[in-house]
Structure 1
Amino acid sequence: MTAISTGTGGTDRSDFDQFRRLQQELTEIADDLTGVVSALGQNHLAKSAREVSAKVANDRFTVLVVGEFNAGKSTVVNAMLGRKVLPASIKPTTAVLTVVRWGEQPTATLYAADRASLDGLDRTPVPVPVDSLEKHLVIGDRSDAEPGWGLAELLWPLPVCRNGVDVVDSPGLNDHPDREVITMDFLGRADAVVFVLSALQALKNSERSFADEYLRLFRHDNFFFLVNRMNQVDEDEAGPLLRDIRDQVRGNWDIRPERVLPVNALAALKSRQNGDPTLAASGLPEFERDLERFLTTERGRLKVVPPALEIQRLTAEARGGIEDTAALLDVDVEKLSTEYERQRGPLESLGRDHQIIVRTIDNHLAETRVLVEESARACLNRAAAQCATWAAEVERQNKVGFNVFKARQNLTAVVEEIGTGLGERVQRHVADWEKEELTALLTARTTDLAETVGDDLTSFVQDLRGIRLSFRGKTDVPMEKLPSPGERSAALAAGLLLDPGSALVGAQFGFKEMLKGVLPQLALAIGVAFVGFGPGALLLTLFGSGVIRTVIKKGKFDAQLVTTVADTTAERLRADAPAAARRIAGKTFQHLSTIREKTDERLAAELAKVAESVQFALRQRDENRRDAETAKRELGERRNDLNSIDQRAAAVLQRWVSGD
């Protein structure tokens, strides 16, 4: 296996090349499917197949680099890119999360921070000259300053990006909460997260706090730890230091030792810039090989298997459409044409029913959003009311003491201890709310929605089935084959909520089982929305608000310390509760809106299938003056095409499983 091609290096075939060929093959299969279903007049399937093709063709890997200021985070990014693209210095620099993507010509775009939006960004692009980008990325003297820009996007002709990798440089750990929300959003969807530590001071309390907080929310399997500046450690101490860090990472977060790698990022950058053959000694190529292998295998599965399965699903649906069309070819052309004209009115009526169902779901979800916001705000206000009790209960190892010369140092240690404990209690409080109160609320609301739209959905399906059968000269709808209203409403509501297109699964396994699938997704979204109330963010608030200065001014350190920390935290919770509650409600609505989107999609597709099959049958018999058998033979050829497409998709899946 070869390393990621970076800088001016290499044209050797890599795992990325093989993976891109697999994506290209899937794109070609989806394009062929688009052609076949378009020829069959199945336009709704052609649209879905085009979407699969576009998604596969444009899918990329995202590698997010995080770390403390001065750990060498931006230098690691520059070394991966092969040139100094991002600012890096011994002082805090990166204040704006920066995404580096492939581009033929260097261009830079900025996006403003917007705390009112779900992802913390105003998506209005602001182009800036590349040579002036650095002044927008640097943080200045205060890391707690209000952010102006939230995201920078840099297009650059770098080979590592051409391989389909977006490299993301994040602000420092425990940054301003508004910037942290943006970082958290990227953490949730990154394919790999690279945590850069400094060998000179690895796994400090702030780094441990970050790892504890973020790994609690996100999976562990995509984290890499790079121990930078190992060249600055005495040779006889380097081995024991690396073993100790690996032991801590494995013990605390269950991350295997081979994911903790030593590097010298500055040496790697200089080697790539100068074409120096000593690059391997920097440790970076070894990391890049491991990262490449991880992306193209473990993470690559998520980019190959779902679209291949979707192609198979669309192919099966297209074959079902062929069976419907073949049955219509046996019907007299004049009778079919007359019946189609007679059913135009009922079909238009079903179209109106479709819109009513969608509006009903819209209204119900809007009501749910309001209820979630009220519940989240009450949760934070209850936490604020408990701050004094929780702060008093924190077990402290540090004491203020009577030495006035060490007062500030001791106070800082105690405030950090109380603040961390208080932040952890707030997190547990929010987690309990999510597991109990929010889960109960969403279960009740989703069940109510299923009951609200269940009868309308059942009537829609029955009426559409009746129209479909009428084209074949049948008038009786075999009701015994239809699920009961309760089953169908549960299947549609639960299935569309949790797994678009899986209404049948909902009917088979029941509504409550299906609901369980969405709760982990919501737990993650809520954890991201509450990120500003974790230990790291609360400590930033405490030290930024002058707690130490206030306590020293008042004297009676021990008497005032707990009260001041608790009051400051409670004030922060109450002040931020409305905005945080809106974010949580918005994230919840975003997840639940799948109900609306997929119900709309599915009902529209069902209506389209009926019209498309009749119109195609009429064209085959009427416009081309062919008999039914000739038309059926051509349908058989299209069926064979679909079988071939299905087999090709299955072969991709098989190769992925076998590793060929």
Structure 2
Amino acid sequence: MAAHRAAARQIIDQLRDLAAELELERVVVSARSLADAVSDGYRIMVLGAFNTGKSTLVNALLAETVPSRPASWPDGPLVAAPTPATSVLTSVHYAAQPSVVARGHDGSERSWPFERFRSESTPDGDADTQQLLSGIREFEVGYPALLCRAGVTLYDCPGLDDLPMRNAITQEAMRRCHAVLLVIRNDMLISLRERDAVRELSELGVPTLLVVNLYHRRHEEQFLERVWKTGMVDAQDGPPATAHRNLADHNVHLVDVREAWLSRSGRSGGSHVGVTELAALESRLGDVLDHGECAHRAALLGRVMTLADDLAHSIVERRHALRADASERRAHHDRAAVELAALRERSRRIDYIVNRTHDEAERLLIASFAETVTSIRADLPGHLRSLRLPSETVALLVFQQTRLLEEAAAEVSDFVGRRIRHWGEEIAPPVLRPLLDHMGELIEGELDLLSGRIQDAGLGDLRLEMRNLSGLTALGSTRAVALSTSVTLAVLSVAPVLFWPTVLVAGVGLTLVRASAADRIKAKVLLQADEQLAELSREMEGVIREQLADVFAQSGASVAAVLDEAMGQLARMAVVDRADRDAVLATLDAAGERLADLVRRLEALRRGAPGVGSSGGLTAGEGSPDA
């Protein structure tokens, strides 16, 4: 049976791993629960009220140990005393050396020395000890008993009438056991709680043997009738007593537990009565476990097959859901692509608005600058003639005429610069502002329309990007001033053409009288300035066009860039979605193949697992599933 259990456990573990890979937590939890139900041996619980001899029975069953056990070790792993000795659920499994692990209610684990366990685990300790024990859920004791080495784990529990929390822990462990030994005393009537326990175990399908602990060796007829009535009729709804009744045939065994323990421990003084009774109990327990193992195996494999079916159903459901989602996403991408193409076409309306505004701004700004230059040309002669330059107060020799020429040129340059700056600060912005405000309003309306259609198409992230463009298109007064300033600076960078060297050379060699020389120098400067202003007006048309082209290109290109990027992103998303879907489908297909292989192995296990031998007896060498 050990090979059968190992094979079942391996299948369960692989089902659990497969479910974990697919992130099917519900199936993982079910697989773990099933794995807990598959052990390497038998689990037997010794159950009963306080002080019925449960711990003594466990010690008797485990008294036979490995030959190397030191003589200083106690005769059994548990404390047995006339008063209640077990305060916490205790399991005993095989270990080469005695060991104890205390498991807390919080999942913690702590090792205890074996001697401390025997001295501090009983209910009669001081307040500090009882406080410590209240935080322990279960003791796990390792002990070199031959029975445990053969694969048997024994559970010793506190009394059935313990605290509700302790009772719940006992009941949870009881459901995981293969058999239960319910211990009662022959000098006490079976309690209502013990009768309920028998019925509960029967409903759970857990095989139960009633062990009547013989105090004072009472076998009289009256006692046997009372045992039959309380153990069979009252507790198990068994048949009424007859002259040919046999308690053992109905899993009721009379055992002097203390005598059996002393005999197994070699301290009985040669009496083997208790050992004989204990051996009969062990033989019957072995038969019950062998019979129950077959039913347990069938039920277990049935649960494993249900788990596999659940996993297969989950894989199919996920595959269908994935394909449905892929179809929906593909349709969404197609609809979004069509909508984006329509939006891209609609965005040309913004290009039209920008281009129209650009052309009008260019026309008005060039005209405005031309008017300003005309005004400068008209006002400059009167301004220069009205000035008395510093060098006009002295006789004009040749070098003084040159100085007068420089003074006149500087005054002209300052006058022209002030008028151009005035144009850039006071005249150009009011020309541009209404145009740019109107363009911003039109583009904002287009963005609102585009954003609404994007939202309707389910492209929310793109809608946010479109809204962010409002900062680029709401040009208004701030952009008008900035644009006028950039044009003004460009004009001023060209202004030095007013002062060509020919203007200065024209004055070289002049030997006129002071008055007529000053007038002629001013006239010469004015003539040269007028020619350069006319040239400046023509050159600034190109500067204005260049400055406006740079600014307006931002507005039209930004919207188109966002939409183009969105269309590219949508195409990339479609490719990624297909790749992800194909990868998940491939994973599901591989999982389906692995699951099919596990189901084939499970079906073979159900058909070909060997039966359990019927040569009964729960002994250290042959009563366990490892034998």
TM score, norm. by length of structure 2: 0.43
Larger of the two Rg values belongs to structure: 2
